[in-house]
Amino acid sequence: MKTLSSSQVWIMAATAGIAVANVYYSQPILHSIGAYFRISTENAGLISVLSQVGYGIGLFFLTPIGDMLERKKLVLYLQAALIASLLLTAFAPHLYVLYAGSLLIGVFSVVAQVILPMAASLADKNRGRIVGQIFTGLLVGILAARVFSGFITNWLGWQYVYIFSAVLVLAVTGLMQADFPSVPARFSGTYSGLLRSTLAQLSRFPLLRKTALTGMFIFGTLSAFWVTLTLYLSGAPFYYKASQIGMFGLLAAAGALIAPVFGSLADKGSTYRSLLFSTSLTLASAILLLMFQGSVAVIWLAVILLDVGVQATQVSNIAVIYSLDENANSRINTAYMTSYFIGGALSAFISIQLYDAGGWSWSVLFMCFLCIAAMANVATLRSGK
């Protein structure tokens, strides 16, 4: 039975976290970048948007190649391209080169989404726990990115954020290439056939459709919450500053710490119970927000419950989809994650419209609807519908 050593798991977790962190480095330092290029904060904000757009592009067009090309080699190519993109951004001579660098950083940061199915292919024993640990590394990378970039910018300047990141990417690339076996390609068709096959996975596996729908609803809940929380806390009766609102994000670390626990439950065949419990936590957070509006303490508690619920659902879902077909893990992962991010984007858009129309209460009611829909979908896992 295949498995991974503890050191290999930690190297993969670090590689995933360091890669995905690059998408978020720009968010807290947009003002510094804008001042350097003498542009408005709004124009500087495009840097962050382009990184997100690039991640979506890479997710659909690059991550399925993990089934067509030997994954260890694909990781090397993506890491090399990411290093080049980071250096391009750090030494950008003018704004449009910076924009291009930001887009490319997003595209090649999807190496994290190649590593997850790679880990699933290399481990039969304790697969859910291992995937959960690597996903924890990914989450820690997201959480640490803003703190890291802010500290480095205050100390040396924003360019050094990308220079240091390039060094970190180079370091973990060396570790990955030195310590991991090759994973042979599982798809022998054309690239266009590969993309068609990626979409076909949704019709091929009913269980993938169900987990993708659960992921859409739950990540949609998280997106709806965070996109309107800033609006809520910046107005009456709070009037919080951006730095104060940002402190709420620190509680998201709770989700990163508990994620492997739910991966272990999936290994023991407890997927239904794990998903039912995790989606219940998200519903509980929404109900608390609805019942106790205006309470900062309740918002803190809701942040913890919501983040734990969302991350636990994600880890349980990933453990399920990687058991469907080892030969198509990258395509299955792409189909799932694309659905996941579509759900987040649509829910964020709808939540903003509801907030404009009816305020915080309408947004929270929408969150409750999404949570209930997710729980109803999870119930079909047990009924076999």
DSSP code for 94: S
Task: Work out the pLDDT band at 270, boundaries 50, 70, 90.
Answer: low
Q: How far is CA 246 from the centre of its chain?
A: 18
Of 307, 305, 300, 296, the closest CA to residue 253 belongs to: 307
pLDDT at 176: 86
Euclidean distance between CA atoms 97 and 63, whole angstroms: 25
Euclidean distance between CA atoms 98 and 93, whole angstroms: 8
Q: How far is CA 244 from the centre of its chain?
A: 23
Please determine, for residue 297, whether its predicted confidence score (pLDDT) is greater than 80: yes
Q: Are 11 and 179 in contact (CB under 8 A)?
A: yes
Euclidean distance between CA atoms 199 and 67, whole angstroms: 14
Angle 128-260-143 (CA atoms, 0-180°, nearest 5)?
Answer: 125
Count Cβ atoms below 10 Å from residue 123 Cβ, excluding itself. 21
Residue partners of 353: CB distance under 8 A and separation at least 6: none
Residue partners of 195: CB distance under 8 A and separation at least 6: 60, 61, 64
Most confident of 173-182, 220-229, 344-353, 373-382: 373-382
Provide the 3-class DSSP secondary structure of residue 268: coil
Residue with tokens 């978020």: 24
What are 19-46's pLDDT values in tens digits? 989 988 887 777 788 889 988 756 777 8
Task: Work out the pLDDT band at 385, boundaries 50, 70, 90.
Answer: very low
Task: Work out the pLDDT band at 7, boundaries 50, 70, 90.
Answer: confident
Of 1-15, 265-279, 309-323, the poorest mean pLDDT is in 265-279
What are 62-81's pLDDT values in tens digits? 998 988 888 888 999 999 99
Report all structural domains of the chain as residue ranges with CATH numbers, in order of start: 6-185 (1.20.1250.20), 197-383 (1.20.1250.20)
DSSP code for 66: G
Angle 322-324-326 (CA atoms, 0-180°, nearest 5)?
Answer: 65
SS3 content of the chain, % helix, strand, coil (to 5): 85, 0, 15
Average pLDDT over residues 9-13: 89
Average pLDDT over residues 120-130: 70
pLDDT at 130: 78
Predicted TM-score (pTM) of the model is 0.76
Please determine, for residue 304, whether its predicted confidence score (pLDDT) is greater than 90: no
Residue partners of 237: CB distance under 8 A and separation at least 6: 294
Of 178, 93, 126, the closest CA to residue 4 belongs to: 126
Task: Work out the pLDDT band at 253, boundaries 50, 70, 90.
Answer: low
What are 162-206's pLDDT values in tens digits? 999 999 999 999 998 887 777 776 777 788 998 898 889 989 999
Report percent pLDDT > 70 for the chain. Answer: 87
What are 196-210's pLDDT values in tens digits? 988 899 899 999 999
Of 115, 171, 183, 134, the closest CA to residue 6 belongs to: 134
